[in-house]
């Protein structure tokens, strides 16, 4: 896969902000990232292209003078600058695991499976308006466990004990919000989005403490109170929301979902067939009470809004759709309620970002042996993964953007000849990328193309381009100029 020149300039925009100590290191970082961006999924030997550049990339990744955190901070600053021109942004928080089959767990860390690897906690900044363009990563935290966790062990620590641990892993959520708030302060409106793992009273309270706006998927069925009537008895959250009348309905296309080997995954995300679902939205304000295991200064209660999304009439053999969302955003009108749901739906972008990092950038195949080197390569890969997602955003954009912003003139010519979808005389980016998606096997009836089908299409286009270039060079060497496409 190759990325357009505009993507390359955005990827490298943070390099100038990195304090490298030696200008030669900055030049090497610039060159290495340029080559990685041109062939994100290629092996390092293939991407670097020469023994000299390959040796330079290996030295850069392993150098004690290259600091992983400094790279992250510089790229976060570049992200914050891009966010400055936007009316509002969503900061999506998530944790994913990275597994390295070639590595030693004692060197890079242990995953629960026993494999070598670590967890990556990311705060991804996404434009809140229009087509939800990914702008970059504003915070990254690594969780490398020195030994394999022991599930089901006896004598587990109580909630009161774990709440007092200063190094507990769950604090990463609050640190991510704090870092994003600091980086984006005064630049734009910020709304934080998290999945069910973020449903922790301590985490919600920490966001309140920072005056942060948020939308968080509910996991726990807590007891809740009525903020307008303190004398009302407390009730279970799910029972409370089922008594709220829906104020609007929306038809949503649900994609098919396969079963997973993990038991817990099958319970949380059971398999389903693709279908059209009619969903009902409702909202109200509620009061949460602090769990017993938490103490001051965590506030004793939190007053916030809850949005209930449910499928009133699911097919007989399908589990109904149901979401509960905690939010600080207003829910006084249909438009406001729908906006909260749309903000949460943007959370799926970070799942695609994780795929872009692992598949599009082939991060888990990078055969470095040390944690230091793997983290440096991770820092270089994060901006590239964002730009891979950017291609998808461009394919979905309704505003007219010239095709030459995402493809070269030669690639557009080749696409006219070899693609199955005709292009207009002056194609826009959307036209060109839909044609690229066609090369990747995309069918129009499947709706908007995702990044993976665009990735496959770009791979095919790149092969066509290499073949054309080889034919041109053969014709030139033979004394006959190859006929242009």
Q: Kindly list the domain boundaries of the chain, sorted by start residue.
A: 5-67+362-393, 69-154+171-354, 398-477
Q: Is residue 480 over pLDDT 60?
A: no
Residue 52: exposure state from Cβ atoms within 10 A (0-12, 13-18, ≥19): exposed
pLDDT of residue 130: 66
- When comparing pLDDT for 236 and 464, which is higher? 236
For residue 204, what are its two tokens? 């919600």
Q: Report the alpha-carbon distance of residue 475 to residue 277 in Å, rounded.
A: 57
pLDDT of residue 88: 95
β-pair partners for 287: 225, 303
Percent of the chain whose predicted confidence (pLDDT) is above 70: 88
Q: Is residue 300 over pLDDT 50?
A: yes
Question: What's the CATH number of domain 69-154+171-354, 3.40.640.10, 3.30.300.30, 3.90.350.10, 2.40.50.140?
Answer: 3.90.350.10
Q: What are the tens digits of pLDDT across the range 381-419?
A: 999 998 888 776 665 655 667 777 777 888 888 888 888
371-396 vs 23-38: helix axis angle to the nearest 10? 50
DSSP string, 140-204: EEEE--SS---TT-SSPPPHHHHHT-TT-GGGHHHHHHHHHHHHHTTTSEEEEEE-GGG--HHHH
pLDDT band at 441 (very low <50, low <70, confident <90, very high): confident
Query: Residues, the chain, total?
Result: 485
pTM: 0.83
Residues in Cβ contact with 358 at an 8 Å cutoff, skipping those fewer than 6 apart: 98, 364
Question: What's the CATH number of domain 398-477, 1.10.740.10, 2.120.10.90, 2.40.420.20, 3.90.1150.10?
Answer: 1.10.740.10
pLDDT of residue 106: 94
Q: What are the tens digits of pLDDT across the range 227-254?
A: 988 888 899 999 999 889 889 999 887 7
Indicate if 398-477 has the same CATH topology as 69-154+171-354. no
């Amino acid at each position: 896969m190759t990325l357009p020149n505009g993507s390359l300039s955005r990827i490298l925009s943070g390099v100038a902000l990195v304090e490298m100590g030696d200008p030669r290191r900055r030049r090497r970082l610039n060159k290495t990232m340029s080559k990685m961006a041109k062939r994100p999924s290629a092996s390092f030997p293939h991407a670097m292209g020469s023994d000299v550049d390959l040796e330079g990339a290996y030295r850069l990744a392993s150098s004690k003078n290259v600091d992983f955190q400094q790279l992250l901070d510089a790229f976060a600053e570049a992200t914050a600058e891009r966010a400055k021109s936007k009316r509002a942004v969503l900061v999506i928080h998530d944790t994913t695991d990275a597994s390295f089959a070639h590595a030693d767990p004692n060197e890079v860390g242990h995953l629960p499976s026993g494999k070598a690897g670590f967890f990556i906690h990311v705060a991804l900044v996404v434009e809140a308006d229009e087509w939800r363009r990914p702008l970059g990563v504003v915070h990254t935290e690594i969780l490398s466990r020195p030994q394999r966790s022991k599930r089901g062990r006896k004598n587990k620590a109580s909630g009161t004990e774990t709440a007092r641990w200063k190094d507990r892993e769950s604090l990463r959520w609050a640190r991510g919000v704090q870092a994003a708030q600091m980086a984006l302060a005064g630049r734009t409106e910020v709304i934080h989005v998290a999945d069910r793992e973020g449903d922790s009273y301590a985490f919600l309270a920490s966001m309140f403490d920072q005056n942060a706006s948020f939308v968080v998927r509910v996991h726990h069925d807590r007891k809740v109170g009525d903020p307008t009537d303190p004398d009302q008895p407390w009730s279970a959250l799910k029972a409370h929301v089922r008594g709220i009348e829906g104020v609007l309905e929306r038809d949503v296309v649900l994609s098919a979902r396969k079963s997973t080997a993990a038991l817990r995954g099958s319970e949380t995300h059971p398999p389903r067939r693709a279908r059209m679902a009619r969903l009902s939205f409702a909202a109200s304000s509620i009061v949460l009470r602090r769990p017993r295991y938490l103490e001051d200064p965590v506030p004793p209660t939190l007053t916030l809004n809850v949005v209930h999304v449910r499928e009133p009439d699911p097919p007989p053999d399908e589990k109904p759709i149901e979401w509960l969302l905690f939010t600080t955003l207003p829910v006084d009108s249909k438009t406001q309620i729908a906006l909260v749901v749309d903000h949460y739906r943007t959370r799926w972008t970070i799942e695609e970002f994780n795929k872009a990092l692992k598949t599009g950038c082939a991060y888990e195949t990078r055969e470095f042996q040390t944690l230091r080197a793997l983290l440096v390569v991770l820092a270089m890969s994060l901006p590239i993964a964002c730009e891979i997602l950017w291609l998808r955003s461009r394919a979905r954009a309704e505003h007219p953007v010239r095709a030459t912003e995402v493809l070269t003139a030669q690639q557009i010519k080749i696409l006219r000849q070899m693609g199955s979808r005709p292009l207009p005389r002056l194609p826009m980016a959307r036209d060109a990328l839909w044609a690229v998606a066609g090369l990747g096997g995309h069918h129009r009836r499947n709706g908007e193309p995702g990044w993976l089908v665009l990735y496959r299409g770009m791979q095919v286009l790149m092969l066509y381009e290499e073949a054309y270039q080889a034919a041109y060079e053969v014709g030139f060497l033979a004394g006959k100029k190859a006929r242009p496409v």
